[in-house]
Amino acid sequence: MEINGIAHCNLTVSDMERSRPFYRQMLTFLGLKPVIDTEGMLYCVGGRTAMGIQAADDKNDRFVQRRVGLHHVCFRAREREDIDRFYEFLQKLDGATIVHPPKEGAWAPGYYSVLFEDPDGIRIEMNHVPGRGLLEPGTRSGAARG
């Protein structure tokens, strides 16, 4: 058996009124289209993936990257230049906090990425790796990001 990627990722946010416009702008910029947009959930689909956000039960909690659970989410860009365009977009996106601007990384040959946080501090990355990178069968598996 071999899986066909990750179907979707749902994130829990502390404030839907603040996070909905952030994610709606970001995800539609990336080509995902909203298929559910209710008071309790935003769910967008495109690029062979889906991303949802929904309200947290505990509105006072904040994301902690090294706590048990999600570490970060990483989207994969088709072209290296997409990383630079996305970075320009992020600089104007209300609520985005840039962790690092576009830079090379040692995670795979040609690895290039931008890393930022959403309004709750959830880390999101966009990367580009030429070709299939480490997704090529028979190559070593990727290392965990820091």
Question: What digits encode the pLDDT tens for the residues 97-144?
Answer: 999 999 999 888 999 999 999 999 999 999 999 976 555 554 444 444
- pLDDT of 36 over the 70 cut: yes
- pLDDT of 55 over the 60 cut: yes
Confidence of residue 56 (pLDDT cuts 50, 70, 90): confident
User: What letter represents residue 127's amino acid?
Assistant: N
Q: Which region among 2-16, 85-99, 111-125 has the lowest average model confidence (pLDDT)?
A: 2-16
Return d(Cα 138, Cα 57) in angstroms, integer. 42
Contact of 72 with 125, CB cutoff 8 Å: yes
Among residues 69, 71, 64, the alpha carbon closest in space to that of 146 is found at 71
What's the pLDDT tens digit per position in 18-28?
A: 999 999 999 99
Contact of 63 with 121, CB cutoff 8 Å: yes
- The structural domains of the chain, ordered by start, are 9-135 (3.10.180.10)
